[in-house]
Amino acid sequence: MSDLKREETQMGMGKLIVLTGPSGVGKGTLLRSLMERHPELYLSISATTRSPRLGEVEGKDYYFLSRSAFERMIANGEFLEWAEFAGNLYGTPRTAVEEQIRRGQWVIVEIELEGARLIRKAFPEALRIFILPPSLVELEYRIRSRGTETEDAIARRLHRAEVEINAATEFDIQIINDDFEKALDRIETVLFATAMC
């Protein structure tokens, strides 16, 4: 059987994959590369009240919402999970995720710790992956290198990162993003190995 056919066979049943880790750990970069290698995966687009960063595109990176629009969606039960982080709201729109899983798609959700915990309650069978930094020093360097954060925001993110790192053992798999290619290969291995279970 060809690799493509094997992958199609493995992906016949819908599945939810939760990717979590502290801000600045490289989740987004790993995820973009994974999606380039495996365009058959479905990426859930989160909604947020934060302002777009340079180069981010509405409907591709996030749905950028006003706080009032986001709060209306919360009130209407339109999020699978939502959380407030660093003064902004983030959430996973429920309908698209549930619809894609029903269609047999593998859906990847990239979210913060609190959201991942909420999803565990709704989807206990989800595969949950936690991305770790090599160290807090390296994480601080990565956050500062973005050049998008105030000192106060950096301090909040680093404090939050310590809390999140302490929760890594709650997840099915922990992967250290020290060497980018190795981390990406490990995610791939984990995903497609679980398909055979």
Query: How confident is the model over 83-97, as pLDDT tens digits?
Result: 887 789 999 999 989
| Greater pLDDT, 137 or 194 | 137
Most confident of the ranges 2-11, 39-48, 144-153, 156-165: 39-48
What is the rounded average pLDDT of the residues 2-24? 67
What 8-state DSSP symbol labels residue 65? -
195: nearest Cα among 29, 40, 87: 40
What average pLDDT score do residues 108-135 get?
91
H helix or E strand, kind and range, residue 81: strand 79-85
Assign 195 a pLDDT band (cuts: 50, 70, 90): low
Helix (H/G/I), strand (E/B), else coil: 88: strand
Domain range list for the chain: 3-194
pLDDT averaged over every residue in the chain:
87
Query: What are the beta bridge partners of residue 62?
Result: 58
Q: Let me know if 5 is exposed, middle or buried by CB neighbors in 10 A (0-12, 13-18, 19+).
A: exposed
What CATH number was assigned to the domain covering residues 3-194?
3.40.50.300
CB-neighbour burial class of residue 16 (10 A; exposed 0-12, middle 13-18, buried 19+): buried
Query: Does residue 196 register a pLDDT over 70?
Result: no
Q: What is the pTM of this model?
A: 0.79
* Higher per-residue pLDDT: 1 or 82: 82
DSSP calls for 16-57: EEEEE--TTSSHHHHHHHHHHH-TTSEEPPPEESSPPPTT--
Secondary structure (3-state) at 116:
helix
